Structure 1
Amino acid sequence: MVYNDVETASRSELEELQTDRLRETVERVYENVPWYRDHLENAGIAPEDVDTIDDVSDLPFTTKEDIRDNYPDGLFAVPHEDLQRIHASSGTTGKPKIVAYTEDDLGVWHEVMARSLYAAGVRSDDVVQNGYGYGLFTGGLGFHDGVEELGACVIPTGGGNTSRQIDMLRDMESDVLSCTPSYCLYLDERADDMGFDLADLPLERVIIGAEPFTDPMRNEIEDALGVTAIDVYGLSEIIGPGVSIECEEAQNGLHVWEDHFYPEVVDPDTGEVLPEGEEGELVLTSLTKQAFPMIRYRTGDMTSLNYDECECGRTVVRMDNVSGRADDLIIVRGVNVYPSQIEEVMVDIDAVAPHYRIDLYREGNLDTLELTVEHVHDYDGTHEELEAEIDSRLRDVLDVKPDEIEVVGPGVIDRTEVGKVKRVYDHRED
């Protein structure tokens, strides 16, 4: 059973719809966004050159730098009087990316979020506690509106205020929690400090996103909270949360709502489109956005695509869980590694807690990596023994040897109550 029949449409039906919507989108940006008109003309492309959805690969990419270069509203395709909402990224690495929505855009967002929640197993008689931050960040309001569109009850706790968050889970007997994966683990720690086990609550599922996470971390969350953990994906530049989500039946890749968001995977270095199943950088084209359309937006997220029909019956393409970001790649003595790969090795060590930080420095012409890791509460060995085990595992599995490994006690590494957890601290430009 699905929320929208398009989820089980045939490939030919989807491609016909995508073709119509791509043509409309290219015409919209060509006519209403001067930067896009120049961008397309510089690539030798006019709207009439788009015959089928396959022609999307001929269109030029859009990057986060392009959005920032046109700050604040140079890529808007409608006048301000037609806007109904503005959101923005945090701007921690430069100017924030300002994104905009018309009334119709919000309608699409509500529907794809309701569709996502339904795929995750949420139903209209559920109570959903929304632990994503409200405000300019798209997570909080995106989830909130989707829950209401579905007809379920939402508790808008937002991020932070962890003791109150736990009280609401317990007192209101919430069925579903939405938050970041790192915050799930922090909630478990705090609940333990408060003297009870979250796994004893009626909570059935958590919908986690906004940060990459590994399968061992998912397992840790499911065991600690006694829940099913569903991965959700989205980004503000495309719409917010609701671009794709795992189904509760399979949890085997995230269903992309490709009637609204057309996915490709490309080589992050060459930009060449990669075949099904190969990992590369996810590129998304919005097919129905009016206020802020995106043509071939390079997300920076690493994944692969699978077009096989899912065991749940949905036929839309599935993307693999995001393994990391193209710009998160660390090169240590000529070895390429993503932080998520380091996490996967460490979480597989029983004595290691799922909390770590990576500090990058530059000495002369060489990059150095220092790793700080917490041990679990009941670890009875020495720090030196665990440091040696981590060093051995990283060398055996990833062929990576950190310049320094430090094991610390529980609670030493800073936790994140609001927003995305920070794992990597890059000091190379300091």
Structure 2
Amino acid sequence: MGGRWVMTVPIAPELSRAELADRQDERLVETVERAYENVPFYRELLDDHGVSPGDIDGIDDIGKLPMTTKTAFREEYPDGLFAVADEDIIRIHASSGTTGKPKVVGYTDDDLERWAAVVARSLDAAGVEPGDTVQNAYGYGLFTGGLGLHDGIERLGATVVPMGGGNTARQLTMLQDMESDALSCTPSYCLYLADCAEEQGLDPRDLPLSTVIIGAEPFTDPMREEIEAALDVTAIDIYGLSEIMGPGVAMECAAAQDGLHVWEGHFYPEIIDPDTGETLPPGETGELVLTTLTKEAQPILRYRTGDITHLYEDDCECGRTAVRMGNVTGRTDDLLIVRGVNVYASQIEEIMVGIDDIAPHYRIDLRREDSLDTMDITVEPHERSETTPAELRAAIDERLDDQLNVSPDSIDVVEPGTIERTEVGKVKRVFDHR
């Protein structure tokens, strides 16, 4: 879809670390004042901890602030965390609420402008250019993924094809007919789409795509390699969560594909020990904590995301100065404890996808029998694999034991295509029956 006139939108210039620190100091002071003065929950929380806005002079004081957990969203449901009047709320999003009341988030007009700007900045980092065509296969509606990416694509000056999730046959048709340069979707759906293309007699590597924007699910390096090989694309990781803004909190750059730049002028990151709450230095792995610095409708102080990662401040070859976070390796609430051994599902995934003869589709079933936890794993071999099921089971068992000190109770190797695919929404791989 080339040859058209495109109005480009300037991407925010890179700031030096000193300039960024000054901006963070100023914005944190404003955010704490806004939260204290306009959100009764935060006024009571800070008072209970003996902290007042006057105690916060900048980022160096952020450790004085108490942390926010997802419980606050449920206890203050639906709008108890809003800092503006109802008439100033322009949009509402919410989580699925599958584990209780949904987490409701609100946005002012300025919030939506800033959100579009950080997503445009993220897409620029991914190598998407004004004039490109981006097919958006994230779900539209209360989920932040669809509309969040949509507005950022338009803000960048690219063309958006708002497909939403599912309807894979039409997704493939539109990818070809619109000559889409980029696709945004979950990693599991990306692989599902490649499988569907092959079922239709199409070589997925012949699709016009050059970039896929991957998010909303754990994304390991072996899965990236699988996606890039299946579609002949560059796969770029995007990170976000509704409680903070939505997609675009952090973004991997195409130049390095080594960690995600956190847009620190809007979202201040910390890493804490998930057990003690102690702030950890750069490079150490722990739980990611985020503070909004520019959110008007719903300022959030030190939100415990539950995501396990680390931060590093090394210079990036792309020239961006924003700190980078590593890939999320697990969640504090997704920790599996099997017969006394702690393991994250993403660690198992990395091993599964890292075995060449295994397709990137699997499921883990956890049960309790006679007061003991059991773990059963079901996998599919690659259609190209000539390895026997017994050899695959032995390879999985050996790697799990060597790398994680975990031995599953059973490993079932089923025919390709047996394990249910997810066409809409996030894939579910762990089924806890305990």
Answer yes or no: same fold by TM over 0.5.
Answer: yes
Structure 1 equivalent of residue 299 of structure 2 = 293
For residues 349 and 257 of structure 1, the distance between their equivalents in structure 2, rounded to whole angstroms, comes to: 35
Q: After superposition, what is the alpha-carbon deviation per residue over 1:81-127, rounded to whole angstroms, capped at 9, x for unaligned? A: 11100000111111110000000100110100111111111111100
1:383 Cα offset (Å): 2.2
Structure 2 counterpart of 1:307, from 306, 313, 321: 313
Structure 1 counterpart of 2:122, from 116, 126, 129: 116
Residues 1:91 and 2:73 aligned together = no
Q: Quick check: 1:376–1:409 contact (8 Å CA) kept in 2?
A: no
Q: How does 1:136-151 map to 2 (within 5 A)?
A: 136-151=142-157
Structure 2 equivalent of residue 278 of structure 1 = 284
1:4 Cα offset (Å): 3.7
Structure 2 equivalent of residue 372 of structure 1 = 378
Matched position secondary structure for 1:154: strand
Moved more, 97-106 or 373-382: 373-382
Residues 1:79 and 2:98 aligned together = no
Structure 2 counterpart of 1:203, from 200, 209, 216: 209
Q: How does 1:39-188 map to 2 (within 5 A)?
A: 39-188=45-194
Matched position secondary structure for 1:211: coil
Structure 2 counterpart of 1:329, from 329, 335, 357: 335
Partner amino acid for 2:299? Answer: P
Count of aligned pairs = 426
For residues 410 and 279 of structure 1, the distance between their equivalents in structure 2, rounded to whole angstroms, comes to: 36
Q: Quick check: 1:309–1:316 contact (8 Å CA) kept in 2?
A: no
For residues 264 and 203 of structure 2, the distance between their equivalents in structure 1, rounded to whole angstroms, comes to: 40
Q: Quick check: 1:76–1:291 contact (8 Å CA) kept in 2?
A: yes
Structure 2 equivalent of residue 347 of structure 1 = 353
Structure 2 counterpart of 1:403, from 384, 390, 409: 409
Matched position secondary structure for 2:283: coil
TM-score for the superposition, normalised by structure 2: 0.96
Q: Quick check: 2:105–2:243 contact (8 Å CA) kept in 1?
A: yes
Q: Quick check: 1:361–1:426 contact (8 Å CA) kept in 2?
A: yes
Greater than 4 Å deviation, 4+ residue runs: none
Q: Quick check: 2:11–2:120 contact (8 Å CA) kept in 1?
A: no
Q: Unmatched 5+ residue regions in structure 2?
A: 1-8
1:39 Cα offset (Å): 0.4
Q: After superposition, what is the alpha-carbon deviation per residue over 1:306-336, rounded to whole angstroms, capped at 9, x for unaligned? A: 1122111111111111111111111222221
Structure 1 counterpart of 2:196, from 180, 190, 198: 190
Structure 1 equivalent of residue 240 of structure 2 = 234
Q: After superposition, what is the alpha-carbon deviation per residue over 1:185-215, rounded to whole angstroms, capped at 9, x for unaligned? A: 0001000000011111221000000001210
Q: After superposition, what is the alpha-carbon deviation per residue over 1:152-173, rounded to whole angstroms, capped at 9, x for unaligned? A: 1000011000000011111111
Partner amino acid for 1:259? Answer: G
CA RMSD of aligned residues (A): 1.2
Matched position secondary structure for 1:132: coil
1:393 Cα offset (Å): 1.6
Partner amino acid for 2:111? Answer: D
For residues 252 and 392 of structure 2, the distance between their equivalents in structure 1, rounded to whole angstroms, comes to: 35
Q: Quick check: 1:3–1:119 contact (8 Å CA) kept in 2?
A: no
Moved more, 84-93 or 9-18: 9-18
CA change 1:41–1:370 in 2 (3 A) is: same
For residues 392 and 265 of structure 2, the distance between their equivalents in structure 1, rounded to whole angstroms, comes to: 49
For residues 69 and 107 of structure 1, the distance between their equivalents in structure 2, rounded to whole angstroms, comes to: 29
Q: After superposition, what is the alpha-carbon deviation per residue over 1:275-306, rounded to whole angstroms, capped at 9, x for unaligned? A: 10011110000001011111000001111001
For residues 283 and 295 of structure 1, the distance between their equivalents in structure 2, rounded to whole angstroms, comes to: 9
Partner amino acid for 2:58? Answer: T
Matched position secondary structure for 2:422: coil
TM-score for the superposition, normalised by structure 1: 0.97
For residues 121 and 348 of structure 1, the distance between their equivalents in structure 2, rounded to whole angstroms, comes to: 27
Structure 1 equivalent of residue 3 of structure 2 = none
1:3 Cα offset (Å): 5.4
Structure 1 equivalent of residue 265 of structure 2 = 259
Residues 1:358 and 2:360 aligned together = no
Structure 2 equivalent of residue 17 of structure 1 = 23
Matched position secondary structure for 2:342: strand
Q: After superposition, what is the alpha-carbon deviation per residue over 1:364-401, rounded to whole angstroms, capped at 9, x for unaligned? A: 33221111111111333432332122112211221110
Matched position secondary structure for 1:410: coil
For residues 369 and 299 of structure 2, the distance between their equivalents in structure 1, rounded to whole angstroms, comes to: 43
Partner amino acid for 1:357? Answer: R
1:67 Cα offset (Å): 0.8
